[in-house]
Structure 1
């Protein structure tokens, strides 16, 4: 199960809203969705979690490039929402083959991922075919919340089970986030 929310910092504090990402196909589209949530160039955090598996954060500050952190790239890569966050640049790889998008056509964001045996087979296929792989740990900008009072070490040690709750608590907006959960 997935949970997605936008946390927007405004003059009146943090505001939260749940959001649907079914029509979002790229990180650029996700950044535009975040920018549309606030009137000015305020900070917006897009929070995505797949229950117990991984979480991702995208920070958008005005027109700056979005900053991304994913807690477990290998797990997120098997997720429709993870594919939005795990850009070639973030993973340090060459642009994906043209057929990579075709594989995503039937994904709607509700997939729970493959079972363990299917995952092992897919990983072996990826290794032998030179397919898209991702590290089984965090990738991205773990420092994206440091100016908000959450240091890099804390971000790197957050559990996927309650990372977003802990982040919201540290930002002082846990009640706001829980209202949309």
Structure 2
């Protein structure tokens, strides 16, 4: 089970809304969803949590690139919503070469250029071996709103409530939960 919430800063304080991620497939989709939650390009924080296994934050400030923090990258990598947050850039790896597929295809139709078949266990889309265990991303994501790096790293199973408390948004969050 997932919990997803948007916390948007407004002139009157923070506004909270529960959100559905069914149509979100990429970080770009999630960023667009966050930007739609604000009128004046104010700060929006997207919170995603999976059954106390991990949580992730995406902070969108106007047109700037989103900032991301994930509490446990290895756990998030086993989740469809977690995979959205674990971008190549965040993981420190080069994006896949778009021409790599063409290199695997033998254009004359012979078997000479075909790769050897590999065991299905070796080819998985959610291979977490390259994903570190533990926190990953911008640990300073909420410093300017009152949550230090140390406090962020110490958050546990009730992270959303603790973050909302720090932001002064606990009451508005409670109304949408």
TM-score (norm 1): 0.79
Distance 2:80 2:175 in 1: 25
Deviation at 1:46, TM superposition (A): 0.3
Summarize the alignment of residues 37-48 of structure 1 with structure 2, pairs less than 5 Å apart. Answer: 37-48=37-48
Deviant stretches of 4+, over 6 Å: none
Determine which of 124, 138, 141 is the counterpart of 2:135: 138
Deviation per residue, 1:142-177 (Å, 9 max, x gap): 101000011111111111x10111000111111111
Q: Secondary structure at the match of 1:8?
A: strand
Distance 2:129 2:89 in 1: 13
User: What number of residue pairs does the alignment pair up?
Assistant: 153
Partner of 2:90: 90
Consecutive unaligned residues of structure 2, counting only runs of 5 or more, are 99-119
Distance 2:155 2:67 in 1: 18
Deviation per residue, 1:75-126 (Å, 9 max, x gap): 000001001100000011122477xxxxxxxxxxxxxxxxxxxxxxx9x957
Larger gyration radius, structure 1 or structure 2? 2
Contact 2:58 2:69 in 1 (8 A): yes
Consecutive unaligned residues of structure 1, counting only runs of 5 or more, are 99-121
Summarize the alignment of residues 26-65 of structure 1 with structure 2, pairs less than 5 Å apart. Answer: 26-65=26-65
Distance 1:158 1:59 in 2: 17
Q: Which has a greater percent of helix?
A: 1
TM-score (norm 2): 0.81
